[in-house]
Amino acid sequence: DTAVSQTPKYLVTQMGNDKSIKCEQNLGHDTMYWYKQDSKKFLKIMFSYNNKELIINETVPNRFSPKSPDKAHLNLHINSLELGDSAVYFCASSPRLRQNEQYFGPGTRLTVT
């Protein structure tokens, strides 16, 4: 059984479009995260939610908007896509807010042309 899953795995789109990435975890965890991994492999936190409450909101453009309909799901919507948004986006989850072990999803490779 997949613990943390993301869809789609690959996303190719043109500049200016709006797209969403979905994440689901079946681990019963309270906390979920979005990370961006750039071409140099650097992993940077973008957002986190704990029981549907926004906890971490790093300095990302407001074109990025996370949404958590319930604690098992955390989606990422991106408006007006730009070339620099091309990256791999990872979702992750951890059991509780301050229990730091994080388990990553398979990633979504976003390519903006």
Partner 1 sequence: GENVEQHPSTLSVQEGDSAVIKCTYSDSASNYFPWYKQELGKRPQLIIDIRSNVGEKKDQRIAVTLNKTAKHFSLHITETQPEDSAVYFCAASSGSSNTGKLIFGQGTTLQVKP
- Residues found near partner 1 in the complex (CB under 8 A): 31, 40-45, 48, 50, 55-56, 90, 94, 97-107
Q: Which is nearer to partner 1, 15 or 111 (CB)?
A: 111
Q: Which is nearer to partner 1, 72 or 107 (CB)?
A: 107
**Please, what is the minimum distance in Å from the beta carbon of residue 31 to partner 1?**
6
Q: Which is nearer to partner 1, 66 or 105 (CB)?
A: 105
Burial state string for 70-94 with b = 16 or more CB within 10 A and e = fewer than 16:
ebbbbbbebeebeeebbbbbbbbbb
**Tokens 């388990």 map to which residue?**
103
